Structure 1
Amino acid sequence: MKIKCVGAGPAGLYFAISAKLRDAGHDISVIERDPPGATYGWGVVYWDDLLDVLYGNDRESAQQLRAASTLWQEQEICLRSEDSAYLGGYGYSLGRAALLDVLAHRARSLGVDVQYRHGVEDLSELADADLIVGADGVHSRVRQTHEQEFGTQLDVGNNPYIWLGTDKVFDRFTFAFEETPAGWVWFHAYPSSAGISTCIVECTAQTWEALGLDSRTDEDGVRLLEKIFERPLDGRRLISQSRGRPAQWMRFTQVRNQSWVHGNIALMGDAAHTTHFTIGSGTRLAMLDAIGLAQCLYESESVSAALHEYDRLARAALRPVQAAARSSMAWFEHADDYLDRDATSFAYAMASRHGLQPPWRYQLHRATQVPAVRRTMRAIDSARRRVLALRRGESLLPPVRQQRVPLTS
């Protein structure tokens, strides 16, 4: 089967890997408009559930992704740099550039033709393909070509946000809320790669305009944010430049489609759907889409039957996730309503933003603020993590980072 995939992000590359592993006879090309190594943003987060799936699907790339990842434990919610509360749990973070590097090398090792610096403006260029996969992101050209057929709906959120890096190294997932004369501004931060953390700054539109962030130069705006977050950043700098261009303020675009398939075209990842960054599921969902489509192709007698099954199963699985993401986005758009509380009460409100909780849950939350209880919870999490790692066959020895030859085409 001749397959052409537009977009060399996590969805496109992991689909090519997954499809090749199931049938090495597929002729697969991944076409990307940007050069190798180019990526927006800094880092992504994921959890054990994704590692379980990746190890089961392709152990080779899963090992490399885990080796390039950083483990973080706990979430800290800090108000005015004075009052902190904690939420339990742990997760992993990974630089987006490292993620794409691992997947691109793995795809090429399996015989996938990965083409960079090749923009696809007209789908007639792909007319010889049995299957066209649109994995080209939120502003997908593949999707835009057939928006009516896909039933595309785009909804834009209210809060401006900007995706930055920082040389302040965080060892846990950190939310810092700072009050200014214009209103509250906050960031979500987590480690991305050696010496660098991801730092997503967000506020309401009213605060953004009152601070003049809508009219300041890029550099002036970043310097203002450094001043606002001086204490939670320990005086370290914010980094705007990614891919040689300064980061831009955005509003989150929610992408929904009534169907993810049309003719011999399938959408996946952000081209098919988006989920708000506050639930950290974008990369996970993109890679699950990739596995799902590859498996449907493997099990079905025709491309048409495979696409029908992929559309049915994948969209049904996504519905509760998108509902949770919409609730999370809405909560942060009204976070000011909760910021008159102490950090412990505020953190509980944030943790329960997806729905009602039984009364005892708040008492448990208060108990986990006690240092001795937190240490016990971290120990339990560490034991659980080791059990899960052993179950999926992950080595518990320190990971060995492999040297790579940079991609040049």
Structure 2
Amino acid sequence: MRVKVACVGGGPAGLYLSILLKRQDPSHDIAVYERDPEGSTYGWGVTYWRGLLDKLHEHDPETVRAVEEHSVRWNDGVAHVRDLTTRHRGDEGHGIGRHRFLELLATRARELGVRLEFERAITPENLPEADLIVAGDGVHSALRTAHADHFGTEAREGRNHYAWLGTTKVFDAFTFGFVETDHGWIWCYGYGFGPDRSTCVIECAPEAWSGLGLDRADEAEGLPLLEKLFADVLDGHSLIGRSGADGSAQWLNFRTLTNRTWSRGNLVLIGDAAHTTHYSIGAGTTLALEDAIALAAALREHTELPQALDRYERQRKAELLSVQSAARYSAQWYENLPRYIHLPPQQMFALLGQRHSPLLPYVPPQLYYRLDKAAGQLEALRRLKRWLGPKIARSAHTRALSERK
């Protein structure tokens, strides 16, 4: 049955959904509406892991080939703590420029007959006529905000401040840099996404942010200070900002967004409009694409829209539970950095890799390190970790809900 779908927002979720729906049935009338000009996307690089490529290959091999061809990859993780450096072998990671990624998705969508309309702002007052309207317009979604009570939208702001920057330093591994100042620690995450650029996210606690004067500095003042602090990690390369029209620095607090329900009539949420997960686990783009895969499958398997949207929501909420838990504990690890930073570098880096664990906040760090090392050899301890982890996670979730009330 031919359907008319309007995807609001030209990000990864909306573009990839349009591709999947056209592949399922070329007769579908699919349009993507983006308020900004084509090619004016924000951000630097996005990161993903090998498993995403395998999953995308099942649904559209053409997209995978193009994305992989324009990505860089790494297998190592490197941590710089003061003047010490440690390197660990890890999973295969990939980085691609956000601009290039969206360009590839847009090209593929056009090839399949999707109509792309840039500089076309869609609001609750001028919704296009369609059988299904997909709100992929991001964390500040206007379509969701207009019905926030219905969706049960909640946003919790993190404690730390962060800035999303670029750099001319090309990292050959996923790189962490931790720098101690008179006002506390400040750190960065860096990864390559092209032959001459990398992403560099800088984060710190409020005390360091204000103590270093970053709360008062505009971008022209703040970038040289950050370049000096991270000179060893950057090898003298420059940082690249994205200042506002007034030259202000782009410091943010991450907002974890959830919604009680994801649909209202023929309107459905996808990607960051539906949920966000802390950037420290590098899963935002992956989750947006997985939303698109699940929604396309639900629309294929159910001819009635309410049943399809219910199936999509139930499936994705269930799949997100473990990812959201990992993101919550990862953010808490950084918010409690002093608990771990004075460990020997090998131990600190090992626990950095374990920051998603629900056990870690409740076990003394050095004891956890020894247990985890032993668990790599003893199956009994591995089973104990698997058994205790969900129990502690459920307890923490219940406690958080009671505190919220």
TM tier, shorter chain?
Answer: 0.7 to 0.9
32-41 or 115-124, larger mean C-alpha shift: 115-124
Q: d(CA) in 2 for partners of 1:175 and 1:246?
A: 26
Matched, 1:198 2:207: no
Partner letter of residue 121 of structure 1? Answer: T
Residue in structure 1 matched with residue 144 of structure 2 by the alignment: 143
> How far is 1:24 from its partner?
1.1
Matched position secondary structure for 2:26: coil
8 Å contact from structure 2 (residues 84, 345) kept in 1: no
> How far is 1:121 from its partner?
2.2
Residue in structure 2 matched with residue 326 of structure 1 by the alignment: 328
> How far is 1:85 from its partner?
4.2
Residue in structure 2 matched with residue 338 of structure 1 by the alignment: 340
Identity of aligned residues (%): 43
1:170-229 per-residue CA deviation (whole Å, 9 max, x = no partner) reads 000000001111111100000011200000000001110111100011111111000100
**TM-score, L = length of structure 2:** 0.87
Matched, 1:300 2:327: no
1:261-307 per-residue CA deviation (whole Å, 9 max, x = no partner) reads 11111101000000101101000000010011111111111112111
344-353 or 289-298, larger mean C-alpha shift: 344-353
Q: Flag structure 2 segments of 5+ consecutive residues without an equivalent.
A: 360-367, 377-405
> How far is 1:41 from its partner?
1.2
1:305-340 per-residue CA deviation (whole Å, 9 max, x = no partner) reads 111111111111111111111111111111122111
Change (3 A) 1:123 1:303: farther
Partner letter of residue 228 of structure 1? Answer: L
Residue in structure 1 matched with residue 118 of structure 2 by the alignment: 116
Count of residues in Structure 1 that have an aligned counterpart in Structure 2: 364
Partner letter of residue 133 of structure 2? Answer: I
Matched position secondary structure for 2:356: coil
Residue in structure 2 matched with residue 5 of structure 1 by the alignment: 7
8 Å contact from structure 2 (residues 218, 248) kept in 1: no
**TM-score, L = length of structure 1:** 0.86
8 Å contact from structure 1 (residues 339, 346) kept in 2: yes
> How far is 1:125 from its partner?
2.6
Matched position secondary structure for 1:64: helix
8 Å contact from structure 2 (residues 78, 85) kept in 1: no
Residue in structure 2 matched with residue 217 of structure 1 by the alignment: 218
Q: d(CA) in 2 for partners of 1:125 and 1:58?
A: 29
Matched position secondary structure for 1:193: coil
Q: d(CA) in 2 for partners of 1:347 and 1:95?
A: 27
Q: d(CA) in 1 for partners of 2:4 and 2:244?
A: 32
Change (3 A) 1:354 1:62: same
Partner letter of residue 373 of structure 2? Answer: Y
1:224-257 per-residue CA deviation (whole Å, 9 max, x = no partner) reads 0001001111111001138987760000011101
Partner letter of residue 362 of structure 1? Answer: K
8 Å contact from structure 1 (residues 164, 247) kept in 2: no
Q: Flag structure 1 segments of 5+ consecutive residues without an equivalent.
A: 366-409
Residue in structure 2 matched with residue 167 of structure 1 by the alignment: 168
8 Å contact from structure 2 (residues 138, 272) kept in 1: yes
How large is the RMSD of aligned CA atoms in angstroms?
1.8
> How far is 1:39 from its partner?
1.5
Residue in structure 1 matched with residue 235 of structure 2 by the alignment: 234
Q: d(CA) in 1 for partners of 2:261 and 2:184?
A: 41
Residue in structure 1 matched with residue 373 of structure 2 by the alignment: 362
The runs of at least 4 consecutive aligned structure 1 residues that moved more than 3 Å come to: 241-247, 356-361
Q: d(CA) in 2 for partners of 1:364 and 1:258?
A: 37
8 Å contact from structure 2 (residues 159, 335) kept in 1: yes
